[in-house]
Structure 1
Amino acid sequence: MSAAAALWIALLVDRLWGEPPAALHPVVAMGRYLGWAGKRLPQAPAAAFTGGALAWCVGALTVGALAAALQWAVLAWLPGWAAALLLGLALKPMLAWRMLRDEVQAVETALGQSLEAGRARLAMLVSRDVAALDAGTVRESAIESLAENLNDSVVAPLFWFLVAGLPGAAVFRFANTADAMWGYRGMRGGRDWEWAGKWAARADDVLGWVPARITALLLGPPWAWRALVAQAGRTASPNSGWPMAAMALHLGVRLRKPGVYALNADGRAPQASDLARALALAGRTVLRVAVLGGAVAVLRWP
C-alpha cells in the first residue's frame, strides 16, 4: 500500500502546490550536471559519442543510486504511513502535471492579448521557431506539447515508479532531461550535438516507448486504434507521435509541424475551445493514471 499511497500523495502535492523551489528540485540539479558535462564533451564524432554516453551513464547511475538509498532508508526505518508520505514527497519532483497544465493554459491566455504575446508564451514551452506561426498553429503547437509532455511529465515517470520504484522514476526523469538538453541534431547552443547527444536521445526513446503507447491508449478514442497507429508513424520520433495523434483524433483537430508532419490532416484547425477540451482530456487522463497506477501498485505489492 505504501507505493499506491506514495503515487497518490505525489499527484495530490503536485495539484495543491506544484513545483518545489529550484534550490531543492532534483531535476534542476540534474540539469546543472548535464549543463556542466555538456560543455566539456569533445567535438570529434567518435569521442563526442563516447563522452556523451559515459557522462549520461555516470549521471543516471548517480541519480538511481541516490534514489535507491533514499527509498531503502524510508521503507526500512519508518512506519508505513510515514514511508508513504516521504516516498510520495520524493516522487513528486519527478512529475509535473500542474506546471504543464498552467503553461499550456498560459499560451491561450496570451493569445487573447495578442498573437505576439501568444508566440512569446509558446516559445517558453517548445523548442521550435515560433516567429511565423499564426494563432491556429500556435494552438496546434501548444496542444502537441501538452500531449507529448503528458507522457514525459506524468505517465512515464509513474510507469517507471511502478516498475522499479523511486530509482526508476528518477532515472527516467534524468533520461528525459538529458534528451531535452542534449538530444538534438545539428547545432544548438554553439556546438554540434549530432553525436554528443545521440546516446541521450536513444535512451529516452527506449525508456519512453511503452509509456508513450499507454498514454495514447488512455487519451485516444478506443475505436480509432488503426487510425492511431497510422497517424503516430508520421512523426520522426518513435514515441511523441503516439500521444499527439491520440489527442488529435480524440479532439477531431489537425496537429502539424509545418513542412515536417501533419497528424489527422483532415481535421479542423484548433480553436480556443479545443485547447480547453485538450486540457480537460489530459486532466481526465491523469485521473485514470492515478486510479490504474494505484491498483497496479496494490496488486504488485499487496
Structure 2
Amino acid sequence: MYASLALAGLAVEAICGYPRWLFRAIGHPVSWIGRLIAWCDNAWNRPSHTFARRRLTGILALAVCLAATAAVSVGLVLVAHSLLPQPLALVILGVLASAFIAQRSLDEHVRAVADALETRTLDDARHAVAQIVGRDTTALDGSAVSRAAIESLSENFSDGIVAPVFWMVIAGLPGAALYKTINTADSMIGHKSERHRAFGWAAARLDDVVNLPASRLAALWIAAAASLLPGTSARGALSAVRHDAPRHRSPNAGWPESAMAGALGLRLAGPRVYGGKTVEDHWMGTGRTDATAADIRRALRVYQLACVLQAATVALLAAALVFG
C-alpha cells in the first residue's frame, strides 16, 4: 500500500498543479506517453492489414507502451529510494506522482465554461467546453453547454483523479503511470472509428477494466459530498446511480455522471453528436435539462468536496499504515 505517496501527490497537485511554464518547457508525462502511442499507431496500424492482424498489433503496441512506462517509473522509484533518505524520496516521488492527478486543471477548465456563459458569449462558452469534451459543440445551446461541462467534470473526476489515486495507493508511482498509459491509449485509439476499431480494441477493453473500481468510488464520493452540501441530494445521487448507471453505453462513465445528475436534480448524458453522427444514450437522472452556469458552479462545489473527502480517506489510510 502506498497511501503516503498518494497523499503527497494529492497535496502537491492541490497546491501548485502542473505549472504551465514547465509544460511549455518539457511537456507533460501524459504527452510523452501520447507521442509513443501515436508513433505505434502510425507505424503499425496499416489499413492494408486484416482486422485480426490489426487487433494483434494493437495488443503489441499497448504492451510496448506499458513496458516502457513500467521501466521508466520503476527505475525512478529504485533510484529515489537508493540515493535519497526515505522522507526526501517520498517528497520527490510525490512531486512526480502529482503529474498524474488533475484536480486543479479539471476545476480550471470547467470553471472557464461557467465564466464564459456568465460574462462572455455563447460561442466563447462553446469554445471553452470543446476543450474538455469530444462531442460537436458548434450547435449546443446554453443548457447543452452547461450539461456537457458537468458531464465532463463528473467523468473526469473518475478517470482523472479517483482512478490514478486508487492505483497509486495500490501500486505506487508505477501503478498511476501504468493507469494513465492505458487511459491515454483509450482516448487516442480506443474509439470505434474505422481506423481504430481493431487496433484500439485492447486499449478500450483494458481501460474499461482498470476504471471499474474508480467509477464506483467516484459515485460514492459525489454522493457523500452531496450529503454535506445544502441544495444537493445524496438520496437523489444514489437513486440515479441505481436506476441509470447500468444503462449508460459506457460501463464506467454512467456511475459518476448519474451520481452528479441525481445530486443536482438534473438530467445528463442523453443523445449527443460525435463527428457529425448522433450517438443515442440514456439520460442519467430524472431532473431538468435546462442547466445553467449556476449548475456548473454547484457541480464544482460537489466536486471540490468530493476531492477533499477522497484526500481525507487517503490520509486516514496512510496514518493507519504508519501507526497501526
**Shorter-chain TM-score range:** over 0.9
Aligned position for 1:206: 209
Is the Cα–Cα contact under 8 Å of residues 57 and 199 in structure 2 kept in the other structure? yes
Q: Which amino acid in 2 is paired with 1:263?
A: M
1:150 pairs, out of 143, 152, 157, with 157
2:78 pairs, out of 64, 72, 75, with 72
Aligned position for 1:10: 9
Q: Which amino acid in 2 is paired with 1:147?
A: S
Is the Cα–Cα contact under 8 Å of residues 49 and 199 in structure 1 kept in the other structure? yes
Is the Cα–Cα contact under 8 Å of residues 114 and 125 in structure 2 kept in the other structure? yes
Is the Cα–Cα contact under 8 Å of residues 240 and 261 in structure 2 kept in the other structure? no
**Partners in 1 of 2:319 and 2:182 — Cα distance?**
27
Which secondary structure does the structure 2 equivalent of 1:233 belong to? helix
Deviation string, structure 1 residues 227-278 (Cα, Å, up to 9, x no partner): 4122111211000110010001111111123242211133352222111011
Residue 170 in 1 paired to residue 173 in 2?
no
| Residues 35/263 of structure 1: CA separation in 2 closer, same or farther (3 Å cut) | same
Which secondary structure does the structure 2 equivalent of 1:39 belong to? helix
Residue 238 in 1 paired to residue 251 in 2?
yes
Aligned position for 2:230: none
Q: Which amino acid in 1 is paired with 2:30?
A: V
What does 1:282-301 correspond to in 2, within 5 Å?
Answer: 282-300=303-321
Identity of aligned residues (%): 34
Is the Cα–Cα contact under 8 Å of residues 157 and 172 in structure 1 kept in the other structure? yes
**Partners in 2 of 1:92 and 1:242 — Cα distance?**
25
Residue 28 in 1 paired to residue 31 in 2?
yes
Q: Displacement of 1:153 after TM fit? A: 1.0
Aligned position for 1:86: 92
Which secondary structure does the structure 1 equivalent of 2:38 belong to? helix
Deviates more, 1:109-118 or 1:247-256: 109-118
Show structure 1 runs of 5+ residues with no match.
Answer: none
What does 1:180-195 correspond to in 2, within 5 Å?
Answer: 180-187=187-194, 192-195=195-198
Residue 138 in 1 paired to residue 145 in 2?
yes
**Partners in 1 of 2:134 and 2:292 — Cα distance?**
22
Residue 60 in 1 paired to residue 66 in 2?
yes
Aligned position for 2:229: none
TM-score for the superposition, normalised by structure 1: 0.92
Aligned position for 2:299: 278
Q: Displacement of 1:31 after TM fit? A: 0.7
Q: Displacement of 1:49 after TM fit? A: 0.7
Which secondary structure does the structure 2 equivalent of 1:94 belong to? coil
Is the Cα–Cα contact under 8 Å of residues 252 and 268 in structure 1 kept in the other structure? no
Which secondary structure does the structure 2 equivalent of 1:292 belong to? helix
**Partners in 2 of 1:268 and 1:117 — Cα distance?**
21
Q: How many residues align?
A: 297
**Partners in 2 of 1:108 and 1:274 — Cα distance?**
9
Show structure 2 runs of 5+ residues with no match.
Answer: 227-233, 272-279
TM-score for the superposition, normalised by structure 2: 0.86
CA-based RMSD of the aligned residues comes to 1.8
